Amino acid sequence: MKLQITLLLVCGLYPSVLSLNCYQCIPDPSGTCTDRQTACPSQCVSATVAVNVAGQQNEISTKGCASAAECVSGSLNLGIVKTTINTQCCSTDLCNSQKPPALPSKPPNGKQCYYCIDKDCSGTVDCLGDEDQCISATVNAAGVQVKMKGCATRSICNAPTGSMQTAGISGDLSCCSGNLCNGAEGVKISLLFVLVPLLSSFLFL
pLDDT digits (tens, 9 = 90+) for 84-129: 999 999 999 999 999 999 999 899 999 999 999 878 889 999 999 9
pLDDT value, residue 162: 46
In a domain, 129, yes or no: yes
- Asked whether residue 161 is assigned to any structural domain, the reply reads yes
Model confidence pLDDT, tens digit, residues 35-91: 999 999 989 999 999 988 878 888 889 999 988 888 889 999 988 889 999 999 999
The pLDDT value given to residue 197: 46
63 found inside a domain: yes
For 50, the domain range is 20-203
Q: Between 150 and 165, name the one with better pLDDT.
A: 150
What b/e sequence results for 1-14 when a residue is b if at least 16 CB atoms lie within 10 Å of its CB, and e otherwise?
A: eeeeeeeeeeeeee
Percent above pLDDT 70 for the chain: 73
Per-residue pLDDT at 137: 80
Q: What pLDDT is attached to residue 174?
A: 83
- How many Å apart are CA 133 and CA 77, to the nearest integer? 10
Any domain includes 56: yes
Q: Is residue 10 part of a domain?
A: no
Residue 153 lies in a domain: yes
Residues 168-189: what's their mean pLDDT?
A: 67
Which range, 80-94, 132-146, 168-182, has the best average confidence (pLDDT)? 80-94
Running DSSP on this structure, what letter comes out for residue 203? H
Q: Please report, for the domain that includes residue 184, its CATH number.
A: 2.10.60.10
Its pTM stands at 0.72
Asked, for residue 80, whether it belongs to a domain, the answer is yes
When divided into structural domains, the chain yields a total of: 1
Q: Does residue 3 fall inside a structural domain?
A: no
Report yes or no: 169 and 151 within 8 Å, Cβ to Cβ. Answer: no
Number of separate helices (H) and strands (E) present in the chain: 3, 11
